[in-house]
Structure 1
C-alpha cells in the first residue's frame, strides 16, 4: 500500500481537537461508468457487520476516482471500496460468491477466496491529512 502523510493539504476541521483531518483516497483503474462506493471501518467486527464509521459514494471517473473522508477520529482504520458499474448500490457476486465488479482495500492486500481480514487492510490514522491509493482488483 502506498500512503503519504502530508500535513499541509487541509486546514483544521471545525476547529475541534476531538476530530481529525481528512483521509483522501485515490482509487486507481476506474472507468467513467457508474459510481465508486467506499467505507471506513475501525475493526474486524465492524467490517464483518458492515458497520462503517463513514461511507461515500461518488460518480466514477476515467482512470482514477478520488473520495475524501472528513472529520474522522484518529485511530486504526481500514477502507473497502468497490466500483458499482451498474448503479444497483450492491457489490454484485457470481454463483460462487466472488465479486463481479472491481473492488479494493487500503494497503492493497493480496486477495484470496474471501475478503481479507481487517489487520491486512488497516492503517494508523494519527489525525494528520493522509493520502491513500487503492488499486482495484478486476472482476
Structure 2
C-alpha cells in the first residue's frame, strides 16, 4: 500500500516510517492508582469492644486473620462501625469482619464450628450452613473507591 509513497522520496519515506513508529507507541501511559475500600457495618448487638476487619486477596487462607492482606479495627458506636482500607491495588478481594466484644484478636468457634462472635462478609452471603467461600464474598476494585455495606450476623 505504501510502496508508491516510499518510491517518491527518501524524505517522505523517513517521515512515513517515523509516523508509523510513533503510532505504535502509546500516547498516554496511565499509572494504576491504589484505591480505598470503605466497609460500613450495621446490626451489632451492642457497642462493646471493637470490630476487627480483614481484607483478603485470595481463596487460600480466606477468613484466617493471620492470612489477611490488610487488617484494621474500628470502634462501634450506635451499633454501627466503619473500617477503611487505603492503598488497595485494582483486583479481586473479599472482606471478613467480626465483633470482638472482649477485644479478642481472632474469631472463637463453638459447637459445630459456629463463630461465637458476630461475623459479616462482603456481599452479605448467607452463613446459615457455614462460612461463605471467597468467591461468594468477592468483589472487584477497578478505578474508584469501593463502598461496602455489611450486616453483622450472630
Query: Same fold, TM exceeding 0.5?
Result: yes
> Which region of structure 1 is more displaced relative to structure 2, 38-47 or 88-97?
88-97
Aligned to 1:22: 36
Q: Is the 8 A contact 1:98 1:113 kept in 2?
A: no
Q: d(CA) in 2 for partners of 1:131 and 1:48?
A: 20
Which sections of structure 1, spanning at least 5 residues, go unmatched? 1-16
Asked if the contact 2:107/2:117 (under 8 Å) is kept, the reply is yes
* Residue 80 of structure 1, aligned match among 96, 103, 116: 96
Q: CA RMSD in A?
A: 1.8
Aligned with 1:33: secondary structure? coil
Bigger helix fraction: 2
Distance 1:29 1:38 in 2: 15
Question: In the comparison of the two structures, how many residue pairs are matched?
Answer: 123
Match of 2:136 among 87, 101, 120: 120
Q: Which has the higher contact order (CA 8 A, sep 6+)?
A: 1
Q: Which runs of 4+ in 1 moved over 2 A?
A: none
Structure number with bigger Rg? 2
TM-score, reference length from structure 2: 0.73
In structure 2, the partner of 1:98 is 114
Q: Which consecutive unaligned segments of at least 5 residues does structure 2 have?
A: 1-30
